[in-house]
Each structure stands twice: as C-alpha cells, then as structure tokens.
Structure 1
Amino acid sequence: MQEQDRQLLQSVEALIFASEEPVTPQAICQIIGGEFSYPDLQSAVEALNQEYEATGRTFRIHFLAGGYRFLTDPDHGDLVRQLLAPVIQRRLSRSMLEVLSVIAWHQPVTKGDIQQIRGVSPDYAIDRLLSRGLVEVRGRADSPGRPLQYGTTAGFLDLFHLPSLKDLPKLREIKEILQEHEEQEYLAAGGEQSPADNDEPAQMEAPE
C-alpha cells in the first residue's frame, strides 16, 4: 500500500474514532478534502475493516444513524454489556424503553395515543426521552386541542445501532431488547432488582 493511501486510511480511522457520534460521509469527505469522494470513503472503510479482521481486532466500522462509527464485535458483547450496565441503567428505565418503542413504531404520535396503547400516562417518560435527545416534537395533530406529536431522532437510531427506521425490530425483538435491558440493570444493581423498573406497569403493543 502506498504511503498516500495509508495516510488516507489513517485519516478516516482517526475521524471516526474521535467522534462520540456517527460521522456523516459528507463531513469526512469535507474534512479530508481534495478529490476524496464517497466511493473513496467506502473503499477506505472496507479496507480498514478487512485489516481489523485480519489482525484479530475486536471492533469494526459500521454505518448507522446516517454516519460511521466503531462498534465492538458481537462475540465480545457480553463483556461490554457488563462494563456499560451502570451507564445503560442511568439512561433508560423499562417504562422509558416501552414508550420509546411505541413512538418509534407509531410516529408521529401524541401523548394521548401512547397512553391509549400502554394504559398509563407517558408524561414522565417522554420528558426524560426529550432531555436525552432520543425523541423530538414533530408538530401538532389535527385533532381537538392540537396536541403535540412526537417522533424519534438520529440519537435513537445510534443508541439501537439502526441504519434507518426501516430497520426497526419486530415486536418479538423489542421484547428481547427489554429483557436484555433488565439483565443489564440486574448486573448493575449487583443482583438486586432495580426500582426503576417498577415506576409503571409493563404494557406495550407494536406491529408484528
């Protein structure tokens, strides 16, 4: 590999590694400049991933939420989940995950729609999801009172490693996510049930 090609690979690697959020192809190409194009970027990412695989590295570059970022290889997922369990516990309770899944599947959706689906008020969960940048206001409904409508953000796609909303999991997979989250909270609490799971009844519906 020529020295110039190696420098380009290192530039792409450095930009993706340094960012806490997915880096868009446009941003990478603009920063590198010159005649570096999107096809060049795709080739660079493929070359880097091939190098990571050949050298037994535990991470790969993935495209999700409109940009590139590093993700740990699934074979090491259990170790990483144990490390991040306290962080995940602070982020989302079970009720917040359920409200988030309803918004994702039915967006744009109002608080009244969510309450009708889950049977309990979503006010607290929506406030927390808004503060974490996982949902956003999408406008107002045409129904009486013109209530606010909510939808998911790019941060939601990033959190669940989804390239787009077309890749949303099915209901069965959502339940598996919730179960996995409960296991993470169990680990974070040292084997004791987290009180965050008891703030609302567990009721959720989504299309199969």
Structure 2
Amino acid sequence: MSNLEDSDLPDDDTPSEEEPEEEWEEVSLEELGAVYAKVLAEADGNEAEPTDEEAANRDDTGDPPLEPPVEEEEVSTGPVTIEGIIEAALFVGHPDNQRLTAKQLAGMIRDVSPKEVEQTIDDLNTSYAEAGQAIRILREEGGFQMLLAPELETVRRAFYGKVRDAHLSQGAVEVLALVAYQPGVDAQTVQDQRGKESGPLLNQLVRRRMLRVERNKPAGGGRTVSTYFPTDRFLQFFHLSSLEDLPHVEEEGIISPPTDS
C-alpha cells in the first residue's frame, strides 16, 4: 500500500495556460450514489500499487524524501495601500481555488476590519466601472473573487474559444462520489477505497472547482493532511440545495431518494 502524502500529489492543479470554461456532461444523482456504493463494496482488499517514480523517490524507510527549506529573499517595496493589498491578494487568489473572505483579507492588513475591507471593495468596483476597466471583484457566498467584467465575456470567448463540453470519466465520478458522501475525507482514504492512485483526479477536480481542498497540520505535528469537500459548483451541477439532498446509500448498497424533512 502506498502512503499518499501532499508531496506525492502531482503539481497539476495550476494549468500552464488559461483553459476554456467547461460544461460538464450530465451525471444523475442515482448514478453518483450507485458509484459510491460500488466503490465501497469493492474497497476491501484493494491496494494501490506505488508507481515506479514513487518507489524511486522513497528512502529505505518508505517515506518520501524531505524537501530542503526554501530561503525567502528580501524584496524592497514602496508605499502600499489598503486597495493595493486587496487587489494583489485577489489577483493572486487562494492557492486552493477558494474565495477569499473579508476576514482573511483584513488579516493581511494592520488595523483594518472586515467591514472596512468590504467598503474598500465596493469603492474599487465603483472605480473600475467608472474608468471602464476590465475587472470586477465579485462577492458571492464564501467570499470575494476577482473576475473579468461580465460585459467582456464575449471577448474572453472569442480569445479562448467557446464553452466546451467536458466528459466526466468513471474515475472522476468515483472520486466525486466518495468526497460527496464523506466530506472532509483525506486523499489517502480516497485512494484506499478506490484501490487506485487518486491524486491527479483530486487535483483535476479542485482545478475544475468541483472540489475544494483544506490543508491542516495535525495537532501532534507531522505532515500536512489534505481533506476534500464538494463546492457550490458541485451542488449546482447536481441541482442540490445541500449535501443532505443526496440519495441515501444503505449498507447493502441499495439507493433510495432523500426523505422529505
């Protein structure tokens, strides 16, 4: 059994160039539940074999080699403003493709409250519109995100191509099902239950904004553990109000629709 650590995950969640938006091929809730039941039923006895590259990179203890610490270079900066910090943070974005909250943004700036951050973002959007700039800061559930102005969507499509259909592979459906029914599951558990390497699929689904990842240090120390959760986009794709609306999967693998509350 290979031990899946964050250092083992392929660094493919940041594409080298902008990709066109995708509309995923329809997958039914019943299929999602059936896949979850099937994967769990087959999980016993399945073990994921390490790849040749993984085996070569492990030392005699079986653990991946530790990477040397990265030395930080001092960078001289000029005067900074609240607006500049907020714009820079939103332009770079969250490493896990999540929206940044007002509280997170305020935490980057001394003596600034979340309410002041929200007001500053409103002022920035006003200035963008008045100056005819191409960006906007979108406020949605979960935080803020910097995007192209809606009126320029036709330009984006002309440059990158039209929205294209994307096919969800069987492996991707399996991973989605395991995370949907076990929100907060870690990468190693997904791999063990599937009996196959799952890091690339998890990264792909995070990049496609169907899943989000949280990385936490264990209380007793040790390696950071990645845990995965369905996103709002996942709920929209399956027409769900919440994960409680998923079909119920019984121990025998029988699927029944959610009960009305």
| Greater share of helix | 1
Q: Which has the larger radius of gyration?
A: 2
Q: TM-score range by the shorter chain?
A: 0.3 to 0.5
- Give the TM-score normalised by the residue count of structure 1: 0.45
- Give the TM-score normalised by the residue count of structure 2: 0.37
